[in-house]
Structures are given as C-alpha cells and as structure tokens.
Amino acid sequence: MLNHLLNINRRSLLIIKHSSNQINRYKNDYSKTLNLPNSGKFELSMKRICEHEDQIKKIAKFDSLYDWQTKNRSNRPLFTLHDGPPYANGDIHIGHMVNKVLKDIYLRFKLLSGYQVNYVPGWDCHGLPIELNAIKNFKKKSKKSQAVNISLNHADPLEIRNFAKNYAQSCINIQMESFKQMNLLADWSKIYRTMDPNFMCKELDLFYSLYENKLIYRDYMPVYWSISSQTALAEFELEYNPEHKSNALYVAYQLVEYSSEIKKFL
C-alpha cells in the first residue's frame, strides 16, 4: 500500500514538472512572436543618459532658440509672460517643474502662432524660509567662534542679511542649472533677483509713484507676530486649534487723559 502511494506521488510530481516545462516552453515560444528591439548591447547608465542628453541639446541647439526668435522676429507682435518667481530656498521639486513646463508650453504655442516672446526668469530672494536659514547659520557660526549667549536682538543685522544673501544666491545657482536641463524657452542671461539693488530701486520708484497718486496711505494695521520666530507672519501661515481655550483676559480701563492721536477717533 505504501509503495503504491509513493508511486502515485512520484507520478504526480512528474506530471506537475512536465506541465511546468510545457508552460515555460509555450512562454518562450510566445515571447519569440513579439517583434521587440534588443537593447542588450546598449546598456544605459546614468552617465550615458546624461551624455546622450547633452549630445541631443548640442545637435538641436535648444539654448539658441530664444536668441533666434529675438533676432528674427523683432517685427512681430510681442508677447510678454511675467514670471511669478520661485523662492530661492532649496532644490527644485515637482511643483517647480509643473510651473515651468506649463509656462513653457504656452510660450511655445505663442511662438508657433507668430509672436516674439519675452520671458525673463526671476527669483524671490526674501521670505521667512530664507530668513530662518540665515538665523540658523548665524547660530552655527556663533557656536564655532565660542561666542557666549549671543541674542538675535543684539546681532548685527547686516551679518544676518549677508547670510541670507549668500544662501539665496547658492539656491539660485542650483535651481538655474536644473531649469536649464529642462531646455526651457527663456533668457538666462538677464535673470532678475529681488535682492538686486537695481530691482529694489525700481520697486521704490514705483512705490513712490503710487504714493504720489494717493493710491497708498499710512495707517495702523494689526500684524500677526511670531514670538518664537521673531518675525511677522502672513495669514496663510497661521494655524488655529478649535479645541484651544484661551486664558487671556480683556480688561477695560477708563482713560483719564486722551492723547492727540486718540482724540482723532473720538
């Protein structure tokens, strides 16, 4: 009885093995019916891919397209796209790519429609992330120089600004190289940076023009302030906790004397 069962098991194993061999044979036969290119001889490493992309750029002359259309379409109607600049505070991410690619698609559409396009990329060199990074570097330098209890309130503002400027410029260089790899239709020789003195002077001129035309006035306005970061906050940076119960008290006092400023509102 035992021998009989062993024979059955051996026979089952042989059948299973034979079936799997048939499947593999059919699979191999089926794969031969596909007319696919054999890329086994062309192994593409990351280095080879980069070299291949550089060769395509040189042959296609992507970098010269913007200059070409500027020279050869000077008599065509001009289409200007103002670049809402990215923050100069790190490497590019998918959001940068979506932003730049959408703009590039529209610029090329205008180019094919007979326009001369004007697109100058720029960078926003101000903002809380850059400021926080400058403060972080300032603290690191203070520790290395063995400075004791240096408060940000007593720090040299120019030194912190230099940290912020150098950090922003390093991020601009990194982002610009990444954008160039995307072969965007842009003038990279005339970029603008919001920290450039020339840019800031023009901004002040425009501000004064608004003031002269009485479109700007001076008044009191509540500003959100972060005690921990020691900086003003925008509304989108605020987070409210609906579960929070404040222990703050509002106490009303009767004014004995009114200042001239308060009398204006009475």
**What is the C-alpha separation between 160 and 45, in angstroms, rounded?**
43
3-state secondary structure the chain: CHHHHHHHHHHHHHHHHHHHHHHHHHHHHHHHCCCCCCCCCCCCCHHHHHHHHHHHHHHHCHHHHHHHHHHHCCCCCEEECCCCCCECCCCCCHHHHHHHHHHHHHHHHHHHCCCEEECCCEEECCCHHHHHHHHHHHHHHHHHCCCCCCCHHHCCHHHHHHHHHHHHHHHHHHHHHHHHHCCCCCCHHHCEECCCHHHHHHHHHHHHHHHHCCCCCCCCCCCEEECCCCEEECHHHCCCCCCCCCCCCCCCCCCCCCCHHHHCCC
Going residue by residue through the chain, which has 266 residues, state the pLDDT in tens, using 9 for 90 and above. 434 433 444 444 444 444 555 555 555 566 677 777 766 666 667 777 778 888 887 887 777 889 999 999 989 999 999 888 999 988 999 999 999 999 999 999 999 999 999 999 999 998 888 888 888 877 777 666 655 445 566 677 888 888 899 999 999 999 999 999 888 999 898 999 999 999 999 999 999 999 999 999 888 888 888 888 778 888 877 887 888 888 888 898 888 888 888 888 77
**What is the C-alpha separation between 224 and 239, in angstroms, rounded?**
12
Residues 6+ apart with CB under 8 A from 84: 99
Global pTM?
A: 0.65
pLDDT of residue 59: 82
pLDDT of residue 124: 95
- The β-bridge relationship of strands 116-118 and 78-80 is parallel
pLDDT of residue 209: 95
| Domain boundaries, given as residue ranges, for the chain | 51-240
Q: What is the CATH number of domain 51-240?
A: 3.40.50.620
